[in-house]
């Protein structure tokens, strides 16, 4: 393949590749901070399970309402708009220097703020005005009891303004090589929500003091959900505020050069982000559809079971795949901007293998230990065995979709790095319709519960990966020093299977029930040890690299 001439850098331009050299250290930083956030997230979900239980129509309504701002957060703050902004700031930094990148960022933030306020107003007005059945259909899209969904959606929707702006700030900071403050943000959010749940428990009492009258109990839970909505909004403000010092230290805070606002670049970013929305967050869009269909098609507790299963699955997904993608995307984008497609392919392949290396044992372990994991985390207070079994059934299918969900995110970002916006978008639209059809078939035709929705999500994610990955690889030249993908995947898969067998066998031998913390801990330890030994025996290169880095750090 002929070499593509690199564009010359202007005077004062920045080294957009050099600032992203320490990718492994960066990924470890993001993963560590994400781990803190996810542990706090588990504490949050455990507290909500204790307070609301597994058959609360009000909490069903809350999680359904929460999906609306959360979707916009994924699509815009952490998805399409953030991706488009990163592309523009990277180009401006490279071609014209950091001051130009700062101007692009600030103009985009100013414009995005007003657009997000408008979107929030439109969403709230739509939820308020639309009827209980979806227009031109008989679909009761808000469920059998629509009023809690409607009110809580109105209360939670403004969260999207703060979350999306925080996502844009995190994207710009990532271009400049700063990841600590954006990754601390979710942990701070969780602390605030946990404090809110503590205040709710103090004000309304524990489940042991729950009222016997269903009408009074519903009113009590309704007030609890309102308090939780206020706490969530406060956490969104904190998510944005925590990044302001980092913006200042990375020269992204103000127009220090006194230039006037120029919105042309900002409008271009927004125009490019519009078609990216589905492609950048197809998994989140599918999750949103699952949630709405759960609210309208499942019995009480179904939406909550689906939510809890998603939250548990998000732990390894965010800790590994999302963290790795966030860490390497600025470097992928820099290679793409400079048309260095060989190094871009190598970085993509190595990152995908690293994701599989860490995510596969988590996926297998959560699959074989689904019920004990759910029981230990959630089965207390009003959350009983039936809810635990229901949530575990959902989670098993989400474990099947963990690998493709993580891989598709990186594949989509790699497409954007080389300037192809159409391919991921077209496939994403197709997969959305496939997901809706499978949801309806599994639940309405085959009579499945919420596990039917997660089964549809798993099938859709695998199909999306198989359709997206081969065309991408055919366009990227493979370097001689690139990783041996096929042999590495085979070895990692074998090691993962041994890990799953060890975890399942240990728990079966030791457990006297699904709520045994000791048996679960021993099973996790046995699975981890088996995976490490198998990787060592099979000569998995990712394991050898990890050992090498640990040894080098130990000598420091």
Q: Is the dihedral of CA 188, 26, 253, 155 positive or negative?
A: negative
Is residue 255 very low, low, confident or very high in pLDDT (cuts 50, 70, 90)?
A: low
pLDDT, tens digit, 9 for 90 and up, residues 370-406: 999 999 999 988 789 999 999 999 999 999 999 998 8
Residues 246 and 320 in one domain: no
Residues 256 and 295 in one domain: no
Asked if residue 14 has pLDDT above 70, the reply is no
| Mean pLDDT of all residues belonging to the chain | 83
Asked if residue 258 has pLDDT above 60, the reply is no
Query: How many whole angstroms separate alpha carbon 548 and alpha carbon 124?
Result: 53
Residue with tokens 């939780």: 228
Residues 290 and 271 in one domain: no
Asked if residue 186 has pLDDT above 70, the reply is yes
Most confident of 58-62, 110-114, 548-552: 58-62
**Count of domains forming the chain:** 2
Q: For position 102, what pLDDT does the model report?
A: 83
Percent of the chain with pLDDT over 90: 40
How many helices, marked H, and strands, marked E, lie in the chain?
A: 22, 0
Angstrom distances, CA of residue 446 to CA of 47, 358, 390, 443, 507: 34, 35, 17, 6, 32
Q: For position 448, what pLDDT does the model report?
A: 94
Q: Which of 172, 173, 12, 171 is nearest to 95 (CA)?
A: 12
Of 480, 510, 541, the residue that ends a domain is 480
Of 480, 504, 527, the residue that ends a domain is 480
The encoded tokens of residue 421 equal 């916006």
DSSP string computed for 475-534 = HSPPPTT---HHHHHHHHHHHHHHHHHHHHHHHHHH-SSTT-HHHHHHHHHHHHHHHHHH
pLDDT, tens digit, 9 for 90 and up, residues 160-171: 999 889 888 887
Q: How many CA atoms lie within 13 A of 447 on its CB side?
A: 0
Residues 290 and 258 in one domain: no
Q: Is the dihedral of CA 214, 220, 226, 231 positive or negative?
A: negative
Residues 234 and 366 in one domain: no
Instruction: Specify the range with the lowest mean pLDDT, choosing from 327-331, 499-503, 527-531, 538-542.
Output: 327-331
pLDDT, tens digit, 9 for 90 and up, residues 292-311: 888 888 889 999 999 999 88
Residue with tokens 């997660």: 454
Residues 267 and 316 in one domain: no
DSSP string computed for 80-142 = HHHHHHHHHHHHHHHHH-HHHHHHHHHHHHHHHHHHHHHHHHHHHHHHHHS-SS-TTS---TT
What average pLDDT does range 537-549 have in this prediction? 86
Q: For position 208, what pLDDT does the model report?
A: 47
Q: For position 16, what pLDDT does the model report?
A: 46
pLDDT, tens digit, 9 for 90 and up, residues 268-294: 777 766 655 555 555 566 677 788 888
Residues 132 and 182 in one domain: yes
Owning domain of residue 329: 281-480
What average pLDDT does range 25-53 have in this prediction? 78
Residues 454 and 400 in one domain: yes
pLDDT, tens digit, 9 for 90 and up, residues 477-525: 888 777 888 899 999 999 999 999 999 999 999 988 888 999 999 999 9
């Amino acid at each position: 393949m002929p070499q593509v001439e690199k564009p010359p850098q202007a005077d004062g331009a920045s080294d957009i590749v050099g600032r992203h050299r320490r990718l492994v250290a960066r990924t470890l930083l993001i993963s560590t901070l994400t781990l803190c956030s996810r542990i706090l997230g588990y504490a949050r979900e455990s507290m909500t399970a204790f307070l609301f239980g597994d058959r609360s129509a009000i909490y069903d309504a809350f999680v359904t309402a929460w999906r609306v701002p959360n979707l916009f957060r994924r699509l815009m703050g952490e998805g399409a708009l953030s991706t488009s902004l990163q592309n523009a700031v990277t180009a401006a930094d490279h071609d014209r220097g950091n001051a130009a990148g700062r101007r692009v960022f600030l103009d985009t933030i100013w414009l995005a703020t007003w657009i997000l306020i408008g979107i929030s107003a439109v969403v709230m007005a739509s939820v308020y005005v639309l009827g209980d059945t979806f227009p031109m259909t008989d679909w009761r899209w808000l469920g059998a009891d629509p009023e809690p969904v409607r009110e809580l959606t109105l209360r939670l929707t403004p969260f999207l303004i703060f979350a999306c702006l925080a996502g844009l700030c995190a994207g710009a900071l990532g271009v400049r090589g700063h990841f600590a403050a954006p990754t601390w943000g979710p942990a701070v959010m969780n602390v605030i929500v946990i404090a809110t749940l503590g205040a709710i428990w103090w004000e309304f009492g524990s489940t042991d003091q729950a009222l016997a009258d269903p009408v009074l109990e519903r009113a009590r839970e309704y007030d609890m959900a309102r308090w939780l909505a206020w706490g969530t909004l406060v956490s969104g403000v904190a998510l944005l505020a925590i990044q302001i010092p980092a913006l200042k230290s990375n020269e992204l805070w103000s127009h220090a050069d006194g230039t006037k606002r120029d919105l042309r670049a900002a409008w271009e970013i927004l125009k490019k982000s519009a078609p990216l929305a589905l492609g950048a967050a197809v998994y989140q869009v599918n999750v949103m559809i699952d949630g709405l269909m759960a609210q309208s098609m499942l019995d009480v507790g179904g939406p909550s079971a689906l939510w809890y299963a998603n939250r548990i699955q998000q732990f390894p997904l965010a800790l590994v795949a999302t963290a790795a993608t966030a860490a390497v995307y600025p470097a992928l984008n820099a290679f793409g901007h400079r048309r260095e497609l060989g190094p871009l392919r190598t970085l993509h392949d190595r990152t995908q293998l690293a994701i599989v290396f860490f995510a596969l044992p988590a996926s297998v372990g959560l699959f074989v230990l689904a019920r004990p994991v759910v029981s230990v985390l959630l089965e207390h207070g009003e959350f009983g065995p039936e809810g635990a079994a229901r949530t575990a059934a959902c989670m098993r299918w989400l474990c099947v979709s963990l690998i493709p969900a993580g891989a598709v995110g990186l594949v989509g970002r790699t497409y954007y790095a080389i300037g192809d916006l159409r391919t991921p978008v077209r496939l994403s639209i197709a997969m959305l319709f496939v997901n809706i059809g499978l949801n309806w078939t599994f639940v309405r035709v085959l009579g499945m519960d919420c596990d039917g929705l997660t089964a549809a999500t798993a099938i859709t994610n695998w199909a999306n990966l198989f359709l997206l990955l081969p065309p991408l690889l055919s366009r990227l030249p493979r370097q001689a020093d690139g990783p041996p993908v096929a042999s590495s995947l085979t070895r990692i898969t074998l090691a993962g299977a041994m890990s799953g067998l060890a975890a399942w066998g240990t728990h079966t031998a030791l457990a006297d029930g699904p709520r045994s913390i000791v048996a679960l801990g021993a099973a996790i330890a046995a699975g981890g040890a088996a995976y490490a030994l198998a990787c060592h025996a099979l000569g998995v290169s990712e394991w050898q690299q990890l050992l090498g880095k640990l040894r080098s750090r130990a000598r420091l």
